[in-house]
Chain A
Amino acid sequence: MLTNPICIDRSLLELPRPKIMNKLSLLLFFWLPMPLLAQNEVGIDERINQAVQPMTDFITSVVFAAIPIAGVDIPFVLIWLIAAATFFTFYFRFVNLRSMRHSFQLIRGDYDDPNAVGEVTHFQALSTALSGTVGLGNIAGVAIAVSLGGPGATFWMILAGLLGMSSKFVECTLGVKYRQENADGSVSGGPMYYLSRGLAERSPNLKGLGKLLAVMFSVFCIGGSFGGGNMFQSNQSFEQLVAVTGGDASRLADKGWLYGLVIATVVGMVIIGGIKSIARVTAKIVPFMGILYIVTGLVVIFMNFTQVPVAFNQIITGAFSPEGIAGGFMGVLFQGFKRAAFSNEAGIGSAAIAHSAVRTNEPVTEGLVALYEPFIDTVIVCTITALVIIITGTYDPSGTANGVALTSTAFGKQISWFPYVLTLAVVLFALSTMLSWSYYGLKSWTYLFGDTKVTDTTYKLLFLVFVVIGASMQLGSVVDFSDAMIFAMAFPNILGLYFLMPVVRREFLAYWERYKAGTLPKYD
């Protein structure tokens, strides 16, 4: 089991054959009894694949439909994401760069209303959203990008990260602006709300479209929460655990289901059992793990500081005139852009759900704060990973190695015990990403099916089933499908953003004018 790592399927985005979907088989798939899963892995694996393949293939082929550009097949969804990020950057006149100083003041709390102490602050909204995005993408994905695209991919990754800041700005502003205050005093926000409410507010003619986009988004978000936000996480964290305990010889090597059950139990204790302390502890440990990862990366870079100019030289020359990279210039560009888009989720819409709980009278401020998410996630963390990999020369151009394992090896070359710390970090990152995505998925689920005890518990049980499946199996097409679901979220979301961007621009310009004039109330 698990010899061919799933993250490669994720990175290559192959396009299988479309067939017709079969609802019944999907239902069957949901109700597979758990013990059977654990024991007959191969057989069940096969059967699940057969059952869901027609549907997954169809959706995968649509979402990842490729357009050949200069000899490289580039999935349309990637062009869709990057084009939007670039467009928003120009439309908002480089809000991503010029507001960074002010955004930092907002995060620091300089403009927090003292009467709102005890509410969700900008810092909390940002750190919560970050712990949902920083994770395997930064560790595993970057290793694959540098392996397949060479050091030059780092350059394009950074550029895409900078552009992605503009997409985050737009979606998170809208997430706060159109959020819903529930009867019980809690708040719900995110693309489903701004798509349905926002478009209806723009024009009565758009009401139907808004509703449709909101439903589409919710469906994809539920799929993404089972896949990339769940199965991919449990699968990859288990792989790292196996790798660090001895690879194929590890006692854990064929115990994926056990790991899955343990993780599912922990997640279940939080989301069903309501044991908040686990979630709270995770929320507190994960940021420190992130900081530890950054600091260790910097230490490795510093230990080899004479090679840093060489590495940057490789990054720049590799970005524009790569040698020996499949697809040449376009190939490098593609790898870098892809990793950035996949790691920071800008334009996907998930972050808008996380950011919407902040307490502020100015939705724009949360958009400005959210700018820092792709910046920290991609421009800082991914770049550190890339530098460590480049400096230690840990590539695997064949593209068959596991992403986490590559990064782990790269760090291990310099600091022998770090792979163990990294394993702990990976498991915790996976756990926090799962908890975040279970929330995103649940919000979409209750948006579609209503917020009752039964619908709520149904979703949560399904979520746990997928944790075990993800850890115990090699599910090529199912994982392709779940990736497809995450990126499919970008279609309704970004389409809605185009309709709603004049609203954001109006609010932003009015706000910025007051900021420049110094008339914003400042308390610190």
Chain B
Amino acid sequence: MSRTILVGLDDSNNSQRAIEFAKQFVDDDTVIALVFVIEWSRFSFSTVEENAQRHKRREEELQRAHEMVLKPAAEHLQQENIAVECYARHGHVAEVMNRLAVKLDADMIVVGKRGNSALARKLFGSTTASLVQVAEKPVVVVP
């Protein structure tokens, strides 16, 4: 039976560790689904000009996510003959990852720990912590 491992990426080295960790669980029948979430809220405030440019920006953001983050990671895995799927999405990081994990019926979600300072966590909250709270699939946090 095929397995799916969802790996959340960001633009740092933390995601590299997450990928390396996920690779341990790969067998012939495993798909690694890479996801990059662009932080976005439908309730944010924006300027008139930003709104007019938004559609174009969105395409650019998605394209950049694919080119800069997803594609290099995917190629790295494909060289080792691992099946890969790529997803770039806008939204709340934890919610989007969870929803995708449910949709793909992933066996686990793997993310790298960001290691923010205590102050930063107090101010901005921790993405990893909120993922653990909302997730309906097992989450592995790689230190």
Binding site for B on A (CB under 8 A): 109, 112, 117-121, 123-125, 127-128, 131-132, 184-188, 276, 279-280, 282-284, 286-287, 353-354, 357-359, 435-436, 439-440
In the complex, the answer to whether B51 meets A117 with C-beta atoms within 8 Å is no
Q: Which residues of B contact A354 (CB under 8 A)?
A: 48, 51
In the complex, the answer to whether A124 meets B56 with C-beta atoms within 8 Å is no
Q: B54 an interface residue at 8 Å Cβ cutoff?
A: yes
Binding site for A on B (CB under 8 A): 38, 40, 42-56, 58-59, 61-62, 89-91
- For the complex, give the distance between the alpha carbons of A121 and B48 in Å: 12
- For the complex, give the distance between the alpha carbons of A185 and B56 in Å: 5
Q: Chain B nearest CB: distance from A18 CB in Å?
A: 35
* Given known A186-B56, A188-B52, A359-B55, contact A118–B40 (CB-CB < 8 A): yes
* Of A123, A132, A283, the contact of B43 (CB 8 Å cutoff): A123
- For the complex, give the distance between the alpha carbons of A117 and B61 in Å: 12
Q: Which residues of B contact A185 (CB under 8 A)?
A: 53, 55-56, 59
In the complex, the answer to whether A121 meets B49 with C-beta atoms within 8 Å is no
Q: Chain A nearest CB: distance from B27 CB in Å?
A: 32
In the complex, the answer to whether B42 meets A121 with C-beta atoms within 8 Å is yes
Q: Chain A nearest CB: distance from B69 CB in Å?
A: 16
Q: Which residues of A contact B89 (CB under 8 A)?
A: 117
In the complex, the answer to whether A109 meets B42 with C-beta atoms within 8 Å is yes
In the complex, the answer to whether B90 meets A186 with C-beta atoms within 8 Å is no
* Of A284, A357, A436, the contact of B45 (CB 8 Å cutoff): A284
In the complex, the answer to whether B58 meets A118 with C-beta atoms within 8 Å is yes
* Of A109, A117, A124, A435, the contact of B44 (CB 8 Å cutoff): A124
Q: Could you write out 18 A-B pairs with CB less than 8 Å apart? A: A109-B43, A118-B91, A119-B58, A121-B42, A121-B43, A124-B42, A124-B51, A125-B51, A128-B48, A128-B51, A185-B53, A185-B55, A185-B56, A185-B59, A186-B52, A276-B50, A435-B48, A436-B48
- For the complex, give the distance between the alpha carbons of A119 and B55 in Å: 6
Q: Chain B nearest CB: distance from A511 CB in Å?
A: 21
Closest 7 CB pairs of A and B: A118-B90, A185-B56, A357-B51, A121-B42, A118-B58, A117-B90, A439-B48
- For the complex, give the distance between the alpha carbons of A276 and B55 in Å: 17
In the complex, the answer to whether B48 meets A132 with C-beta atoms within 8 Å is yes
Q: Chain B nearest CB: distance from A323 CB in Å?
A: 44
- For the complex, give the distance between the alpha carbons of A286 and B47 in Å: 11
Q: Chain B nearest CB: distance from A348 CB in Å?
A: 15
Q: Which residues of A contact B53 (CB under 8 A)?
A: 185-186
* Of B45, B49, B58, B61, the contact of A287 (CB 8 Å cutoff): B45
In the complex, the answer to whether A283 meets B45 with C-beta atoms within 8 Å is yes
A282, closest chain B residue (CB): B47
- For the complex, give the distance between the alpha carbons of A284 and B41 in Å: 13
Q: Which residues of B contact A353 (CB under 8 A)?
A: 48
